[in-house]
Structure 1
Amino acid sequence: MVRSTGRIPLAVGAAAMAVAAVTGCSSGSGSIYGLPTAAAADATSPAATPSASAGTGPAAAPTLPVSGEPAFGTPGSTPTGPPPPTGIELSAFLPTAAILPAGWTIKGDGSEHDTGTAINGYRADPPQIKEPCNQMRLAGTIFSQGYNVSGAMNEVYDGEHAVQVYLGAYRPGDAAQLLTDLRAYAERCKTFTGKSVDGAPIPMTVTLRPVPGLGDEAFDMRRVPTGPYRTSEIVVTRIGDKALFLSGDDILGRLPNLMQLAVPLAKTVK
Structure 2
Amino acid sequence: MVRSTVRIPLAVGAAAMAAAAVTGCSSSSGSIYDIPTGTAAGPTSPTAAPSTSTGTGPAAAPTLGTSGAPAFGTPSSTPSGPPPLTGVDLKAFLPTAAVLPAGWTIKGDGNEHDTGTAINDYRGDPPQIKEPCNQMRLAGTIFSQGYMLSGAMNEVYDDKHMVQVYLGAYRPGDAAQLLTDLRAYAERCKTFTGKSVDGISIPMTVTLKPVPGLGDEAFDMKRVPTGPYSSSEIVVTRIGDKALFLSGDDILGRLPNIMQLAVPLAKTVK
Partner deviation per Cα, 1:209-243 (whole Å, 9 max, x = no partner): 00000000000000000000000100000000000
The equivalences for 1:81-230 within 5 A come to 81-230=81-230
Report the TM-score, using the length of structure 1 for normalisation: 0.75
Quick one: structure 1 residues 208 and 151, their matched pair in 2 at CA, closer, same or farther if it must change by over 3 Å? same
Gaps of at least 5 residues in structure 2 are: 1-5, 25-54, 56-78
Partners of 2:22 and 2:189 in 1: how far apart? 21
**Offset of residue 42 of structure 1:** 3.8
Are 1:38 and 2:14 matched, yes or no?
no
Q: Which protein, 1 or 2, shows the higher relative CO under an 8 Å CA cutoff with sep ≥ 6?
A: 1
In 2, the alpha carbon distance for the partners of 1:177 and 1:121 equals 17
Q: Equivalents in 1 of 2:21, 2:188: separation in Å?
A: 23
Identity of aligned residues (%): 84
- Once the two structures are TM-superposed, the CA of residue 169 in structure 1 deviates from its matched residue by 0.1
SS of residue in 2 equivalent to 1:227 = coil
For 1:95-145, what per-residue CA distance to the aligned partner results, in whole angstroms no more than 9, with x for missing partners? 000000000000000110000000111100000000000000000000000
Tell me how far apart the structure 2 counterparts of residues 39 and 143 of structure 1 sit (CA, whole Å).
11
- Helix, strand or coil: the match of 1:182? helix
TM-score, normalised to structure 2, is 0.75
What per-residue deviation string (whole Å, max 9, x for no partner) do you get for residues 57-79 of structure 1? xxxxxxxxxxxxxxxxxxxx9x9
Asked if structure 1 preserves the Cα contact closer than 8 Å seen for 2:96 and 2:106, the reply is yes
Any gaps of 5 or more consecutive residues in structure 1? 1-30, 49-76
Q: Is the 8 A contact 2:22 2:197 kept in 1?
A: no
Are the aligned partners of 1:214 and 1:263 in contact in 2 as well (CA < 8 Å)? yes
Once the two structures are overlaid, the 10-residue window that deviates more, 208-217 or 79-88, is 79-88
Q: Is the 8 A contact 1:204 1:226 kept in 2?
A: yes
The alpha-carbon deviation at position 38 of structure 1 amounts to 1.3
Q: Which amino acid aligns with 2:21?
A: S
Paired residues in the alignment total 210
1:250-261 maps to which residues of 2 (within 5 A)? 250-261=250-261
Q: Which runs of 4+ in 1 moved over 2 A?
A: 42-48
For 1:132 and 1:175, the matched residues in 2 are separated by 22
In 1, distance between residues paired with 2:251 and 2:257? 14
